[in-house]
Chain A
Amino acid sequence: MPIKSYLAYPVPGHAETVTQALAAFDGCDVFPALNQDVLILVTDTQDEPSESWLEEQLALVPDLQCLALVSGLNPDLVQINPTLEHSC
């Protein structure tokens, strides 16, 4: 399943509680910003049911006003490097 990263926007003044709530889920790494009210959430789930379950749970986190998906990478599918066209 993909590894996803999100920008998570807590309700102002609630960054700490949102950080703790998100970090409590298995497969979630949380990186709070030091100088803004925003968090980075990186999720890593093993299969589709756990991915769906996690998404449902994230939607229920209190004081999390917005979760914006930034990237979704499937390590088993992503081609490491694009190749540009050249004559050699």
Chain B
Amino acid sequence: MLSRRELFKGLAMAAAAAAAEQVFPGVLFATTAVPPGANGLSWKKAPCRFCGTGCGLLIGVDNGRAVAVKGDPASTVNRGLCCVKGYHSVMALYGKDRLTHALVRRNGQMVKVPMQEALDLVASKLKETIQQSGKDSVSIYGSGQWTIPDGYVASKLFKGGIGTNNVEANARLCMSSAVTGFMTSFGLDEPMGCYDDIDHADVFVLWGNNMAEMHPVLFSRMLERRVTNSSIKIIDLATRWTRTSMAADRSILFKPQTDLAIANAICHELIRNGWTNSTFIQSHVSFHEGRTNIGYGTQDKFAFTDEPKPSTLEDFRKRLEEYTPENVEQLSGVPAKDIRYLASLYGDPAKKCVSFWCMGMNQHTRGTWIQNNVYNIHLLTGKISTPGNSPFSLTGQPSACGTVREVGTLTNRLPHGETTNEQDRQMAAEIWGVPVANIPVKPTYHTVEMFRALDRGDIKFMWIQVTNPMVTMPKLKRYRDGMKKDGRFVVVSDVYPTPTTDIADVILPSAFWIEREGIFGNSERRTQQWDQLVDPPGEAMSDTWQLIEVARRMGHGKLFPWSKETHVRDIFNEYRRFHHGPAHEMATYDALRANPGVQWPCPNGKETKWRYHAKWDPAAKGVSWDFYGKPDHKAWIWFRPYEPAAESPDKDFPFWLNTGRVVEHWHTGSLTRRIPILHQAVPNSYVELNPIDAKRIGVRNGEGVRLTSRRGTLVLPAMIDGRGRPPEGMVFVPFFDESLLINELTLDAFCPISKQPDYKKCAVKVERA
């Protein structure tokens, strides 16, 4: 048996590794937290539960308890490495306050009830609400932490069974701009490349992406690549100085929102200098323009539809004329010589280029546009869909891609395609065994609008699974007040108490991660399966099975005929039918069980590493690129201009507020704050200030700073020259701390195309508290 001392030795090692990472971003210790094979442990594979990288882990189980973790050397994602969260992940299973029994609110108090009674109540309340107020008065809100079976069953119940498109997931808050970016430029979602691009690229440009903290294992791989080849360049293009900046070859800071203009200036320089790949452009690219001055969605029931118009390379060139490096220097603060330097890297035909991004480009009121603009750079140079040439959107949750994007747990999506497409609805009806008329055509509410609808009373019932919107929603007060109104019924399935369970009418205890069988899908189209390794505590039950139990109680049992023993395999086999064909064929369940992960498309059992090129992708026709997602088989270059943020600093609120994460904590901290070492490393949130601003307002490290926006106020301890340093006129606050809710201050403005809110830009006043 692995002793408590052995476990703590592993944790001590991991803490030291995390400390070393602070001093040497990307430092590699090729070892494990606990020696392999220690004292007869059984080691079983599972993907990491935290970010979207999808590291393969081996979990050491002893006497029914998960006691150790090591990186899986067989996983091509992490090759045996882990980050500090991964090493400690199993400790999140054993928090003292795990939810183990169902709770129901009676007379204002939460009362413990048998799980079956709670499920009866959820089903009867759903039926009653539908009867009284219609199908569109009930909703489900899940997340990118939903397993593929969780999301699939939720979509099948709500869209196929109940007949409402009120299905959304928190991935709307973290990557829907990536989806609309891919869809508008390529017609199909998800990256064309894979992590192997890191082993081939010469240049990495990180667009607003603090990879050293957010994707540390991939960052380590990138630094390792540079160790073996000193000509490799890593450029950190960001709005604040971070650990990533420290390790990069060049740190370039830009003013918030001006990434749109910088990308256009790079395109301007590529064309002006003749650094484009004209053969590629002629054969594989078409040009388009869309609407401008498109708004910010801050008012209820905001609607927007783009109107694509065909254009030409010459039109595009003319549109870019105003984006000279000098003009953009004035706007962005980036010296013209740095813009030219970036263009020279992308434009050098001898250099392979990867662009990485995540929340900086996604959480952006022009999130779709900035994705289009970065794709434009890769398309003008033909640096795409070949090893080492990749515009690469990373994700923040373990199955944002696998569940939300591929299963389609968004109001407008189905497991294959869109609700508005008749063929897609017919396919869903046939596979689900429901009349096609059951599946509504029209999308209803995206996430922000869904919570607005709950506030207005248009939605009266919401079931929230595996997410914590009472920490994550922007302009939080409105949505918290809305959920607490009379006549709303909120069910929350989770593993720990959170600010969201605090306002629930029913709390259902969920089986967590390896306490149930499951499947995730990571950022590089890799599907990852794991078996149940340990038992859940008390009456905790998987989110999948909770949904099936409720569906059966509502009379939809025929749609969910599976047994408890085989339902995950059965669900996946049904779901796989949606993606049959060379463009998205998924691996068999047996193949998933046998491997740390398998990338799709996987026709005839062979993974596709690079899409849209006939050399690697069986779905591509011809001998080279084939962007088959678009009817014209071409990738679309869009002209997208710079437009300002929804709210910018002014006389009354003179600072930018930027929010984000730290390496030790994941999302709202509901898991990582229950892991002692991670909690002790960063026990509370703080506000990063530039030292000049701190001096001006008379604040020293650790002293209280009051931040005030038009929506709320919050006092946090100051962090000056810590791990990050914002420029003058900006503050940064991590959002993981439920006792210091920074989203009380943020604005619910969103990208009108993706409907993803911008958590990176609003205006605040900064004072000594």
Query: Interface code B64-103, partner A: CB below 8 Å = 1, 0 otherwise?
Result: 0000000000000000000000000001001111010001
Contact residues of B between 124 and 151, Cβ < 8 Å to A:
none
Instruction: Return A5 CB to nearest CB of chain B, in Å.
Output: 4
- Cα separation A32 to B17 with both chains bound (whole Å): 11
Inter-chain contact B674/A71, CB cutoff 8 Å: no
Contact residues of A between 11 and 51, Cβ < 8 Å to B:
29, 31-36, 38, 40-42, 44
Inter-chain contact B16/A36, CB cutoff 8 Å: no
Which of chain A's residues have a CB closer than 8 A to the CB of B8?
3, 73, 75, 78
Which of B16, B26, B497 is within 8 Å of A5, CB to CB? B16
Inter-chain contact A86/B502, CB cutoff 8 Å: yes
Inter-chain contact A84/B27, CB cutoff 8 Å: no
- Cα separation A84 to B494 with both chains bound (whole Å): 15
Closest to A40 in B: B16
Inter-chain contact B497/A86, CB cutoff 8 Å: yes
Inter-chain contact A4/B502, CB cutoff 8 Å: no
Q: Which of B303-311, B675-683, B740-748 contacts A (4 or more CB under 8 A)?
A: B675-683
- Cα separation A60 to B641 with both chains bound (whole Å): 64
- Given contacts A7-B16, A31-B13, whether A80 and B673 have CB atoms under 8 Å apart is no
Which of chain B's residues have a CB closer than 8 A to the CB of A4?
12
- Given contacts A7-B16, A40-B13, A80-B91, whether A33 and B27 have CB atoms under 8 Å apart is yes
Closest to B7 in A: A75
The prevalent SS among residues of B at the interface is: helix
Which of chain B's residues have a CB closer than 8 A to the CB of A31?
13, 17, 29, 31
Inter-chain contact B501/A88, CB cutoff 8 Å: yes
B223 beta carbon closer than 8 Å to chain A? yes
Inter-chain contact A36/B15, CB cutoff 8 Å: no
B434 beta carbon closer than 8 Å to chain A? no
- Given contacts A35-B223, A36-B27, A38-B24, whether A3 and B95 have CB atoms under 8 Å apart is no
Which of chain A's residues have a CB closer than 8 A to the CB of B224?
35
- Cα separation A38 to B23 with both chains bound (whole Å): 10
Instruction: Return A52 CB to nearest CB of chain B, in Å.
Output: 19
- Given contacts A3-B8, A82-B674, whether A38 and B20 have CB atoms under 8 Å apart is yes
- Cα separation A68 to B20 with both chains bound (whole Å): 10
- Cα separation A35 to B30 with both chains bound (whole Å): 10
Inter-chain contact A35/B96, CB cutoff 8 Å: no
B554 beta carbon closer than 8 Å to chain A? no
B651 beta carbon closer than 8 Å to chain A? no
Which of A35, A68, A81 is within 8 Å of B27, CB to CB? A35
- Cα separation A42 to B91 with both chains bound (whole Å): 20
- Given contacts A42-B13, A88-B110, A88-B497, whether A33 and B20 have CB atoms under 8 Å apart is yes
Which of chain B's residues have a CB closer than 8 A to the CB of A81?
91, 94-97, 674-676
- Cα separation A6 to B17 with both chains bound (whole Å): 9
- Cα separation A13 to B30 with both chains bound (whole Å): 20
- Cα separation A31 to B33 with both chains bound (whole Å): 10
Which of chain B's residues have a CB closer than 8 A to the CB of A61?
none
Q: Size band of the B side of the interface? A: 35 or more
- Cα separation A35 to B17 with both chains bound (whole Å): 13
Which of chain A's residues have a CB closer than 8 A to the CB of B677?
71, 73
- Cα separation A29 to B94 with both chains bound (whole Å): 27
Which of chain B's residues have a CB closer than 8 A to the CB of A38?
20, 23-24, 27
Which residue of A42, A71, A73 has the most chain B CB atoms within 10 A of its CB atom? A71
Inter-chain contact A83/B227, CB cutoff 8 Å: no
Inter-chain contact B676/A82, CB cutoff 8 Å: yes
- Given contacts A31-B31, A38-B23, A88-B103, whether A75 and B5 have CB atoms under 8 Å apart is yes
Which of chain B's residues have a CB closer than 8 A to the CB of A59?
none
- Given contacts A5-B12, A82-B674, whether A35 and B227 have CB atoms under 8 Å apart is yes
Query: Interface code B341-376, partner A: CB below 8 Å = 1, 0 otherwise?
Result: 000000000000000000000000000000000000
Inter-chain contact A33/B16, CB cutoff 8 Å: no
Instruction: Return B411 CB to nearest CB of chain A, in Å.
Output: 30
Inter-chain contact B24/A36, CB cutoff 8 Å: yes
- Cα separation A31 to B5 with both chains bound (whole Å): 18
Which of chain A's residues have a CB closer than 8 A to the CB of B97?
81, 83-84, 86
Which of chain A's residues have a CB closer than 8 A to the CB of B496?
84
Instruction: Return A32 CB to nearest CB of chain B, in Å.
Output: 8
B106 beta carbon closer than 8 Å to chain A? no
- Cα separation A6 to B141 with both chains bound (whole Å): 44
- Given contacts A5-B15, A44-B5, A83-B95, whether A34 and B28 have CB atoms under 8 Å apart is yes
Which of A35, A41, A80, A83 is within 8 Å of B26, CB to CB? A35
Which of chain A's residues have a CB closer than 8 A to the CB of B26?
35
- Cα separation A83 to B95 with both chains bound (whole Å): 7
B11 beta carbon closer than 8 Å to chain A? yes
Which of chain B's residues have a CB closer than 8 A to the CB of A42?
9, 12-13, 16
A70 beta carbon closer than 8 Å to chain B? yes
- Given contacts A44-B5, A44-B9, A73-B8, whether A84 and B497 have CB atoms under 8 Å apart is yes
Closest to B92 in A: A81
Closest to B32 in A: A31
Instruction: Return B93 CB to nearest CB of chain A, in Å.
Output: 10
A-B pairs with beta carbons under 8 Å apart, 13 shown: A32-B29, A33-B20, A35-B28, A42-B9, A44-B5, A70-B12, A70-B15, A80-B676, A82-B673, A86-B499, A88-B497, A88-B501, A88-B502
Which residues of B are interface residues toward A (Cβ below 8 A)?
Answer: 4-5, 7-9, 11-13, 15-17, 19-20, 23-24, 26-31, 91, 94-97, 99, 103, 110, 223-224, 227, 496-499, 501-502, 507, 670, 673-677, 679, 738
Additional A-B contacts beyond A81-B95, A88-B501 (5; CB < 8 A): A29-B9, A34-B28, A70-B12, A75-B8, A79-B676
